[in-house]
Amino acid sequence: MKILITGGAGFIGSHLAEYFNEQNYEVFILDNLKTGYHSNVGFIDNAHLIDNDVTNSQFVTELIKKEQFDYVIHLAAVVSVVETIKNPILSQSVNIEATLNMLESNRQYNKNLKKFIFASSAAVYGNTEGLPKKVNTFIDPESPYAIEKYAAEQYTKLYNKLFNMPTTSLRFFNIYGPRQDPSSPYSGVLSIMNEKFQNDDTFTFFGDGEQTRDFVYVKDLVQAVSIVLNNENANGKIYNLGSGEQISLLQIFNTFEKLYNKTINYKFSDSRSGDIKHSYAQIEELTSLGYKPKYSVEDGLAAYVNYTNHS
């Protein structure tokens, strides 16, 4: 079985590539290595790691025509909210147009396709009232990033409705784990906090630290993707990919203190504009397919800390 993972050299993609490689799928990665690294996927040979851009539509179409992938997981994106605010025209060409081209190329030239999965985001909910966040409730995008994710997931859904393509979108909540790059100030907050603990640096809470998120250990994401990939009932659907648990940043900080058996300095600064106060996912639709998060935040953080201190 051939599987194409766009953005496969990045944080999440590398875990999916690892899993499907172990399951003996023939894994192809299409990645321009902008925020991803070859070293994340050392187990993929050069013939299967295609260093190219998803906006290169002719190239992508030819690749799909030639390889006739059984599965496509489309993760490649401008992932920084700030970058999409600075350059919305460029970011929509990656986050919307390239997704549409990927769908259209598969529709026209790949009759072998068994599933197309698109990585959407909890960002689409913005600051809407009401918890937990449900897929069929109001959305309120607060950034070009959120609008782009929404547009692309809706195209993905529409290709099922119009052309019966086997497509599913997943709205990822806050994913964390090994290989998440803490170098950007807008990277996942847990990777930043972890790095501060490693280096005995000061951690800054934007706001009072009481803000909550739904944190998902990346191995639980892999479980969810693999379930959706193999379930035809998921076609034409959009799911929240969360843990269903609401955890505050202060709770996370306390868990790191226990795991490292020490504390570090911290300070509070103004919350960032557009930052959401509380968020967690309703995940019943996904659990009804068999998804069951295995990692509590304590377990996930322990595995993460263990990895970062032994690699």
Ligand X SMILES: NC(=O)c1ccc[n+]([C@@H]2O[C@H](COP(=O)([O-])OP(=O)(O)OC[C@H]3O[C@@H](n4cnc5c(N)ncnc54)[C@H](O)[C@@H]3O)[C@@H](O)[C@H]2O)c1
Active site residues: 145
What is the smallest separation between the CB atom of 107 and ligand X, expressed in angstroms?
20
What is the smallest separation between the CB atom of 78 and ligand X, expressed in angstroms?
6
Residues in the chain: 311
- Chain center to CA of 174: 8
**HSE-CB of 129 using CA atoms within 13 angstroms:** 0
What is the smallest separation between the CB atom of 246 and ligand X, expressed in angstroms?
16
Interface with ligand X (CB under 6 A): 7, 9-13, 31-36, 53-55, 75-77, 79, 94, 119, 121, 172, 174-175, 188
Say how many Å lie between the first and final Cα of the chain, rounded.
31
Is the Cα torsion angle 280, 281, 282, 284 positive or negative in sign?
negative
262 or 277: CB nearest ligand X: 277
What is the smallest separation between the CB atom of 93 and ligand X, expressed in angstroms?
8
Indicate the residue type of 67: E
Name which of 145, 11, 153, 33 is nearest 90 in CA terms.
145
76 or 135: CB nearest ligand X: 76
9 or 113: CB nearest ligand X: 9
* β-bridge partners, 26: 2
What is the smallest separation between the CB atom of 263 and ligand X, expressed in angstroms?
26
Q: Rounded to an integer, what distance in angstroms lies between the CA atom of residue 97 and that of residue 91? A: 9
93 or 255: CB nearest ligand X: 93
Indicate the residue type of 75: L
303 CB burial (10 A radius; 0-12, 13-18, 19+): middle
33 or 250: CB nearest ligand X: 33
Query: Got the DSSP string for 280-304?
Result: -B--HHHHTTT------HHHHHHHH
212-213 and 247-248 strand pairing: antiparallel
